[in-house]
Amino acid sequence: MNKIIGLAVLLLCVCGCAKDDDAIYYPVGNVDIERGDVALEDGKGELVAGSYNEEDYVLDTLAQYPGDPTLGKLTFMIDLKNQLARQEAGGFNGIGKSGLTMSLGYKNGDYPSESQIPVYTSPDVTAAYAVKLRLKGELALAGDEWMIDYIYVQLAGLFQPYPPASFPEVFMCKGGEQPFAAFDSFRRTWTFDITYSRSGLSFSQLYFNLFLNLAGQKREERIRLRIDKESFFEVYKLNEEMN
């Protein structure tokens, strides 16, 4: 694939929806959604789940296109986790290292079941919650025969593989070039540092995913995701007087 054309597609990320016979391509463009009330004040909520890092860690994966790689477009779903928990919580799936799954789901809706597991399941659907998080790191491609069509991070009350801005279940979505991340075309890396702190959220399940769409003409490519130790994830149950 012509590198100049590839870079142009990467940088434009125009909004819209175009289909081909190989996969469905949903350019996202720049998106910056943050819903919920103001950040949680000290003493106004109980920490019910949290995970943290003591050191950086790397997810190094070989992406393999399962069909004809003549015009390959792959969707990757990365369930974002941290390594350690300081607060035991039932229904919390945010402990451990992040995992990566690959899918043609944008074409046929066949998303792996392991990608559709919520990071937190609420034991009290009537409660209000606050979420604080930071996701800092870098995503890189090893070679130059694949390109990133788009990439975005989403926090939502439903599994939402495409970020519909009109859906109230999407609490946070950041994608495109800014303010989500900085792209280095020479190093083929995306460097990001995302923070979110909002209260007054209502959900029965909570999903936290990084979605990545690749395009290329090579059967496989190595993807490297580094999560910095400063990253963390916290869920608070609000005190009843705040509900």
pTM across the whole model: 0.80
**pLDDT above 90: percentage of residues in the chain:** 23
- Measured between alpha carbons, how far is 36 from 181 in angstroms, rounded to an integer? 22
Identify the pLDDT of residue 27. 55
Strand partners, 66: none
Identify the pLDDT of residue 132. 95
Local structure of residue 41 (DSSP, 8 states)? P
CB-CB contact of 188 with 138 (8 Å): no
Using one digit for the tens of pLDDT, what is the confidence trace for 183-218?
Answer: 777 778 888 999 999 999 999 999 988 887 777 666
User: How many Cβ atoms are within 10 Å of 145's Cβ, its own excluded?
Assistant: 16
CB-CB contact of 37 with 198 (8 Å): yes
**Per-residue pLDDT at 6 exceeds 90:** no
What's the average model confidence in pLDDT over 216-239? 84
The amino acid occupying position 147 is M
Higher pLDDT: 8 or 177? It is: 177
Radius of gyration of the chain (CA): 18
Using one digit for the tens of pLDDT, what is the confidence trace for 46-72?
Answer: 999 888 888 888 888 776 666 554 445
Higher pLDDT: 26 or 92? It is: 92
**Per-residue pLDDT at 10 exceeds 70:** no
Domains and CATH numbers, the chain: 23-236 (2.60.120.750)
- Measured between alpha carbons, how far is 228 from 197 in angstroms, rounded to an integer? 19
The DSSP code sequence of the chain is --HHHHHHHHHH--SS-EE-SS-EE----SEEEE-SBSPPPTTSEEEEEEEE-SS-EEEEEEEE-SS-GGGEEEEEEEE--BSEEEE--TTB--BS--EEEEE-HHHH----GGGG--SEE-S-TT--EEEEEEEEEEEEESSSSEEEEEEEEEEESS--SS--TT-TTEEEEEESSTTTEEEETTTTEEEEEEEEEEEEE--SEEEEEEEEEEEESSSEEEEEEEE-TT-EEEEEEEPGGG-
Using one digit for the tens of pLDDT, what is the confidence trace for 215-226?
Answer: 766 667 778 888
Highest mean pLDDT of the ranges 27-36, 69-78, 82-91: 27-36
- Measured between alpha carbons, how far is 121 from 36 in angstroms, rounded to an integer? 18
Identify the pLDDT of residue 93. 83
Confidence of residue 2 (pLDDT cuts 50, 70, 90): very low
